[in-house]
Structure 1
Amino acid sequence: MSTVVDPADYSRQLDEKTARLRELLAPFDAPEPAVFDSPREHYRLRAEFRLWRQDGQRHYAMFAPGEKHQAILIEEFPIASLRINELMPKLKAAWQANEALSNKLFQVEFLTTLAGDAMVTLCYHRPLDAHWQAAAEQLAADLGVSLIGRSKGKRVVIGRDFAVEKLEVAGRTYQYQQPEGAFTQPNGTVNQKMLNWAYDALGQRDDDLLELYCGNGNFTLPLATRVRKVLATEISKTSVYAALNNLADNAVDNVTLVRLSAEELTEALNEVRPFRRLQGIDLKSYQFGSVFVDPPRAGMDPDTCELTRRFDNILYISCNPETLAANIAQLHDTHRIERCALFDQFPYTHHMESGVLLVRR
């Protein structure tokens, strides 16, 4: 599949992805997938650039896969948000005009949101001193962004170390802290479509939800309004802190969040061994009717996959349709696909996000 950014070719590429998902799910008698498209341009809210010296100046650069020595210099980036494209030349002009900002600067990271917030991270091969701090504070004020400086073993935060996102699900607006360095969905428009699909697929229930791999609470917040209570797990400390703040900021009070991996929670539910982090949580008090999973590219490990078989409903968001199909194959004898969807998070690439609702036969 072509990776050239050509909006005129978008529909053909999306049709190819739909055919691929249909083929992967065909052995499981899946219904026709609902397809959620992406904006053709300016859809990516995150971008990361290495800097490349040429003609005495540093330029934004990217590299072809496997290539380290031949840089592709970037002046604008049509797939990135309008805010990133607006910030890129202003930031470049600032470091070109100020040695304290440019000296040994080797990487720039942007994080923006649909809500209009922006955070810029500057990475250096040198210690950050008072001259850098003064220049960076002025730059952050001029650009209207939070700015983070990183050097070996040190991080300097000017403003906040997170960006604020606002997403609407079923008529309610949720506010999210998206921390620097933590995972967030890169395509905000499609993320909002995913949240609404998951909310609708789960339906209104009078029992409890188990959520594995909850991240910063992206899905947790809206799904919590559909059930009695939620037990959610996440292993990343940064994401756990963000999720706890997001639950508080949105007055969602029926979620218990524990810092455990999916594999550890499986052991706890199977009573293989106790976990100190579950102290005070009565797992037997939950009446789980559904489990929600959004695993990494490797999918669920066999034990976690086996754990999900206990639930009447398995709501599964996947960033890798091959591992999704492998997990469904393990569950197919007890669960059938009631709904499926394709979310085009990554236009002009072969990557796709998909979702299935599996219900007990």
Structure 2
Amino acid sequence: MAIHSVNTDDYTRQLQQKVERLREAYGDYTDLDPEVFPSPPSHYRLRAEFKIWQEQGRAHYAMYRQGEYKKPFIIEEFTVGAGLINRLMPLVLEAVNTSEVLRKRLFSAEFLTTLGGDALVTLIYHKKLDEDWESAARALQEKLGFPVLGRSRKQKVVLERDYVTERLQIGDKTYQYKQVEGSFTQPNGEICRAMIGWAKDVCKESRGDLLELYCGNGNFTIPLSEHFDKVLATEISKVSVNSAQENIRANGVNNLDIVRLSSEEFTQAIDKVRPFRRLRDIDLERYDFSTVLVDPPRAGLDADTCAMVARFPRILYISCNPETQLENLAELSKTHRVERFAIFDQFPYTDHTESGLLLVRK
């Protein structure tokens, strides 16, 4: 059953329903018409994770509906997936089904691709990966023309590399990003480009310095650094911080510092509640922050962080969960007004939507 075949003819209607729902939800805080950024109606997803269903000596891509984990749905086509994912899927499956070494105890396959045409395939097993597996995987890697990575319990076998390199064209400039397997990356590449482009437009006439919380691998940070004197960004994931440092160098950025802190820790640091060794080379007093950018997880901003960002003249708030953004907006609207409002259809054919707000102090 092809559970990921979508009706692209119905896309515009579904998007309009989302827009109307969010316009109403934000109506207590703004009467602005949202700037709407639609997704490509198909082949928009740059990463995919499939279970492997094994039956009668053959492997199949499969997914499970929530609560029905013993009833697999075999994937025969994946129209939401990027074109490169769809090209690689049958090649990987053919190799797995003609190699007992690759097929035996394989339980998951993951694809990570980019708009720039790079890809990484990860095969995950319930067995120890030995030299025979490595030999078969190298043959698959040569056939695909892209790196293959193997995982099992307490084991990671990197044959060539464990990352892809993305190149995003934003306006007249191209930005380069290292995206490591297993770390967070934006799943919808065209919407990622739209979000960065919108954020750059919001910040194009900025003054002073930028603070960014939850910066990830520098997805927003690096392009926005062009619009500020200095930038300080924080991220808790060590893998993402390391990637961000490499991306800073790859893009030739020299006004940006990244430190590994959670938003809660940074709030404590800026409030001088306690010192952090990770900030020993950062003098917070030398920054003249005019803008704060937050792109928090689905839980939104905690109360202390929300109170801290309310001190900034401008708040750029990107959210993957409008419900928690609205909860934060109930507090932030006491000090700020909505000046820009955007809707990014990161996840077509679902109820999920990404939203962006520029809040300016009243």
* TM-score when normalising by structure 1: 0.98
Counterpart position of 2:12: 11
RMSD: 1.0
Q: Which moved more, 1:153-162 or 1:212-221?
A: 153-162
Q: Is the 8 A contact 1:120 1:148 kept in 2?
A: yes
Supply the distance in 2 between the matched residues of 1:5 and 1:355 (Cα, whole angstroms).
26
Alignment of 1:126-145 (within 5 A): 126-145=127-146
Q: Which moved more, 1:104-113 or 1:24-33?
A: 24-33
Supply the distance in 1 between the matched residues of 2:68 and 2:263 (Cα, whole angstroms).
36
Report how far residue 5 of structure 1 moved: 2.1
Q: Is the 8 A contact 2:5 2:78 kept in 1?
A: no
Counterpart position of 1:185: 186
User: What SS is found at the alignment partner of 1:263?
Assistant: helix
Q: Which moved more, 1:51-60 or 1:76-85?
A: 51-60
Q: Is the 8 A contact 1:10 1:40 kept in 2?
A: yes
Alignment of 1:11-160 (within 5 A): 11-160=12-161
Supply the distance in 1 between the matched residues of 2:299 and 2:58 (Cα, whole angstroms).
41
Structure 1: any 5+ residue segments left out of the alignment? none
Report how far residue 30 of structure 1 moved: 4.0
| Paired letter, 1:155 | K
Distance 1:108 1:4, change over 3 A: closer
Supply the distance in 1 between the matched residues of 2:39 and 2:300 (Cα, whole angstroms).
24
Supply the distance in 1 between the matched residues of 2:248 and 2:303 (Cα, whole angstroms).
30
Q: Deviations over 1:145-170 (max 9, x none)?
A: 11110011010112211111111223
Counterpart position of 2:271: 270
Supply the distance in 1 between the matched residues of 2:294 and 2:94 (Cα, whole angstroms).
44
User: What SS is found at the alignment partner of 2:282?
Assistant: coil
Alignment of 1:231-310 (within 5 A): 231-310=232-311
Matched, 1:349 2:357: no
Q: Is the 8 A contact 1:76 1:88 kept in 2?
A: no
Matched, 1:330 2:331: yes
Supply the distance in 1 between the matched residues of 2:178 and 2:262 (Cα, whole angstroms).
22
Report how far residue 6 of structure 1 moved: 1.1
| Paired letter, 1:33 | P
Runs of 4+ aligned residues of structure 1 deviating over 4 Å after TM superposition are: none
Supply the distance in 2 between the matched residues of 1:202 and 1:210 (Cα, whole angstroms).
13
User: What SS is found at the alignment partner of 2:258?
Assistant: strand
Q: Is the 8 A contact 2:5 2:80 kept in 1?
A: no
User: What SS is found at the alignment partner of 1:298?
Assistant: coil
Report how far residue 205 of structure 1 moved: 2.5
Aligned length: 359
Point out which structure has higher relative CO (alpha carbons under 8 A, 6+ apart).
1
User: What SS is found at the alignment partner of 1:199?
Assistant: helix
Supply the distance in 2 between the matched residues of 1:298 and 1:35 (Cα, whole angstroms).
23
Q: Deviations over 1:151-203 (max 9, x none)?
A: 11010112211111111223110010110000000000111011000000122
Counterpart position of 2:220: 219
* TM-score when normalising by structure 2: 0.98
Supply the distance in 2 between the matched residues of 1:29 and 1:187 (Cα, whole angstroms).
27
